[in-house]
Chain A
Amino acid sequence: MSALDEVCERVRKQVGTVVRDSLGRVSATEFQRFAVAAGETDPVYFDDAAARAAGLPGAVAPPLFLSSVLGWGAGPSDGELGADGTGDETAGLPLAGLRLMGAGQDLDFHNPVYDGVRVVRETSVEDVALKDGRSGPFLVITRLRRFLDESGTPLLSCRDNLIARPEAGE
């Protein structure tokens, strides 16, 4: 059994298990920086009055904000990062030592994300498959993340496929 087979089996054991973590309080400054970086100009992301006029509770985060942010804590020190600069993006999955690539996401939007909301994330693995590509074997992990507020109101759901490959040269 190859190392990747073993990782596949370990991930498969997590199918159906929901990992729940608290991401803390989202601030308008955080999602507005995201909006600026993405080139957004829609006032509903920046201006409370404009957002209220559109029926929102106040300025809201761009729809892809929560599912794009890779880390919610202080993060690892430089020395703990891999050679490619990546750190703790494995999100609780036993994928240390593998190169992870996102290939897109499918999102359902339930409620707006606004300044001060405390976000809880529920992550589960729906499926894992070992595949053979031109550049060798890789894993495809289908992951579901549900983002809720503290009272359990759903904010958004994001399903994505993570591609996990062994580090180059291994």
Chain B
Amino acid sequence: MTSRNFEDVAVGMELDPVTIRPTATQLFRFSAATWNAHRIHYDARYAASEGYPDVLVQSHLHGCFLLRTALGWAGPAARLRSFGWRNRGIAVPGDTLTCTGTVTACRVDGSGAGIVECALEERKDDGTLCAPGTAVLELPREDVRP
């Protein structure tokens, strides 16, 4: 990963998109790692009883995909200040999820830190919005020697 400086970024710049195809195995392991026993994430028959086509990608896993998109673009020298997302549409194993983002604000705060805000979106192949989000990152500044 390359570092990105505050001075390299401008409002309207697009983040590098990230494409993810979650699998049933990934969902199972994510449930295990978060101690989440909800059958809707690993029991397809149960998910069908609630009217869903298959087991569902966890709310927080959608958040992880969006956040990875922002952090991967920002590079290793960035510091995450805040992040939020909303779950709007379901996704199931085999779906192709593409996360995109756009820089919506750049400012230097009172302490001289370079702050960048990004709007993020995770969509399925057919264009359905699964999760919008926002991330606020501090990027290193060219003119500030560490």
Q: Which residues of A contact B82 (CB under 8 A)?
A: 106-109
User: For B83, what are the chain A residues with a Cβ–Cβ distance below 8 Å?
Assistant: 63-64, 106-107, 109
What chain B residues lie within 8 Å of A54 (beta carbons)?
76-77
8 A Cβ contacts from B1-32 to A: 1, 20, 26, 29-30, 32
Residues of chain A with a CB closer than 8 A to B29's CB: 33, 36-37
A123 to chain B, nearest CB (A): 17
Q: B73-85 interface mask toward A, CB cutoff 8 Å, 1 = contact, 0 = none?
A: 0001100111111
In the complex, per-residue mask of A130-163: 1 if CB is within 8 Å of any chain B CB, else 0: 0000000000000000000000000000000000
Whether A68 sits at the interface, judged by CB under 8 Å, is yes
A75 to B34 CA separation, bound complex (whole angstroms): 12
Closest partner residue, chain A, to B27 (CB atom): A37
The answer to whether B38 has its CB under 8 Å from any CB of chain A is yes
For this complex, into which size category does the number of interface residues on chain B fall? 35 or more
Residue among B32, B36, B64 with the highest chain A CB neighbour number at 10 A? B64
A86 at the interface (CB under 8 A from B): yes
B76 and A37 contacting across the interface, CB-CB below 8 Å: no
A103 within 8 A of B: yes
Decide: A70 near B84, CB < 8 A? Known: A54-B76, A102-B60: no
User: With A and B bound together, what is the CA distance between A149 and B34 in angstroms?
Assistant: 20
When the two chains form their complex, are residues B33 and A64 in contact, meaning their CB atoms are under 8 A apart? no
Specify the chain B residue showing the minimal Cβ separation from A73.
B35
| Chain B residues close to A by CB (< 8 Å) | 1, 20, 26, 29-30, 32-40, 43, 46, 50, 58-61, 63-65, 67-68, 71-72, 76-77, 80-87, 131, 133
Footprint of B on A, CB under 8 Å?
30, 33-34, 36-40, 42, 44, 54, 62-64, 67-72, 75, 81, 84-87, 101-109, 168
